[in-house]
Structure 1
């Protein structure tokens, strides 16, 4: 997803939000802008930062 444009990334996070209704979704990234997109698209998202 790191090579997706913003609209495509938003659609993937919407799909993740739907998937999370029936199971746990874990997505790992070091791209902070994707975390911001996830927060905008799925307001209930839980983001854990690993140092």
Structure 2
């Protein structure tokens, strides 16, 4: 269930990105994977 909610959140972020910059911070790799699947042109920056 959480996976489906995360997908919907990233769909909304993708829509929001059409009108402005969206910054989402996480340490969860699986959320980055979901973002890549939902938003093909997403830019993910990894901090060392």
Matched, 1:44 2:41: yes
TM-align CA RMSD? 1.0
Match of 1:32 among 29, 34, 37: 29
Structure 1: give runs of 5+ residues left out of the alignment. Answer: none
Structure 2 unpaired stretches of 5+ = none
User: How many residues align structurally?
Assistant: 48
Off by >3 Å, runs of 4+ in structure 1: none
TM-score, structure 2 normalization: 0.96
- 1:1-32 Cα distance to aligned partner (Å, 9 max, x none): xxx71000000000000000000000000000
- TM-score norm. by structure 1 comes to 0.91
